Amino acid sequence: MLGPFDERSLTLDDRSYKLTAYLRVSSLAVALYDFISTLPSSWRFYKEQWDAPRLTVSFILFFLIQFISIAALTISNVGFFYSHFTETSCHHFYLLPLIFKVLQAMVSQAILGFRSFNLSRRSQRISVLLASFYVGACTLEWITTLYNRQPVVDPKYGNCRAVLENLYFGAWIYYVVAMIYDLFTTSIAITYLLKHKLSTPTTSLFSQLNKIMLYDGIGYFAALTAVNILNLIIYRAGQDIQSAAASLGYCVTWIMSQRLLIHLHDASLERRFGSIDEAVTISQGVSSARDVTRIIRSQFDSKTGLVSLDLTIPDFELESSDCGTFEHADEVSVQVRVEKTVKVERRPKTYTLENYSRHPPV
């Protein structure tokens, strides 16, 4: 039973319903437009990953933010616009929008966390801080979003909502926690970006990537913070309009998270292909059967593993594995010449900052 609420508080008035409906329809339109406009970039993302030897974290996060965001927008708006809910069907449905809300936030915050982790050169100290902060934030978000929720079927519009019995401890804390986490991870990322910006020539391609990542991070934080503040204000205003900006929050989180990954991916491709003129060819004559076997096997051994922690696909796989001992004749009748094209890195800190290689910094 919903003791603190009377019948009038459970019914949306016409003004509140129209405001919520307009915001939801607008957010759906913006999300659909952004989805269509980013289809070419998304296709390139999926196509390159399909041809890659293993999955990257950026692709996994990109897929999750798309899938969960579409599900969150769809389920949330079905709950609001569908007008034939019963008490039984609402009881089975009312937690679904909230669950996908937190799942989307977890993926979005994981994107910020991995980004800060890689920019810190995969520092162990930073990784512990980020992991602890992430687990704590996610735990609070789950509790404050699902705790003390009750299903309500609107007597007038027939939609299904999840309302709170106690406004003093509720979902408004979710937005405060989200803003604190975003501020924490963004501060780490900006600190390392500014640190490396000062040590990088402004004309280099790496400096351009640095600038893109800096602006994207600030824009991401500003947009999400603005939406969280709006949600916080609306949530504290009253029960009748507490979900007015929920769909808008799903939309902005999806757009900013997706574009953050797309911009990073496109910048990585530009850096990779833009410096192709700096590639050199290394030739080596091979006369031993043992060396031939080692070289052939190294082309496959370096691509083992299903998932890479690299944010993007590495430019070149230069590692060779120990292939064990083989019994071969020292000389063979066929002379083999091996050529391999590699890119000359003018500044060794390039991979260290982006940390797309798997080697720890020296």
Tens digits of residue pLDDT in 248-268: 889 999 999 998 888 777 766
Q: Which residue has the tokens 């089975």?
A: 92
Asked if 175 and 141 count as a contact pair (C-beta separation under 8 A), the reply is: no
Q: Which residue has the tokens 């922690």?
A: 309
pTM to 2 decimal places = 0.72
- If one counts every other C-beta atom within 10 angstroms of the C-beta of residue 2, the result is 14
Q: For residue 14, give the DSSP letter.
A: H
Residues 200 and 57 grouped into a single domain = yes
Residue after which a domain boundary falls, among 274, 303, 321:
274
Q: What is the greatest pairwise CA distance in the chain?
A: 93
Distance CA 58, CA 45 (A): 9
Residues 304 and 334 grouped into a single domain = yes
Residue after which a domain boundary falls, among 245, 274, 303:
274
Q: Domain residues for 46? A: 8-274
- Based on the structure, what is the number of domains in the chain? 2
Residue after which a domain boundary falls, among 250, 274, 298:
274
Q: What is the pLDDT of residues 98-155, one digit of tens each?
A: 999 999 999 999 999 988 888 888 888 999 999 999 999 999 999 988 888 888 898 8
From the list 305, 306, 340, 303, the residue with the least C-alpha distance to 320 is 303
Structure tokens at 325: 């001992």
Distance CA 208, CA 219 (A): 16
Mean pLDDT of 302-328: 43
Residues 178 and 306 grouped into a single domain = no
Q: What is the pLDDT of residues 316-343, one digit of tens each?
A: 333 333 444 444 444 445 555 555 555 5
Asked if 67 and 59 count as a contact pair (C-beta separation under 8 A), the reply is: no
Residues 232 and 342 grouped into a single domain = no
From the list 155, 158, 164, 111, the residue with the least C-alpha distance to 134 is 111
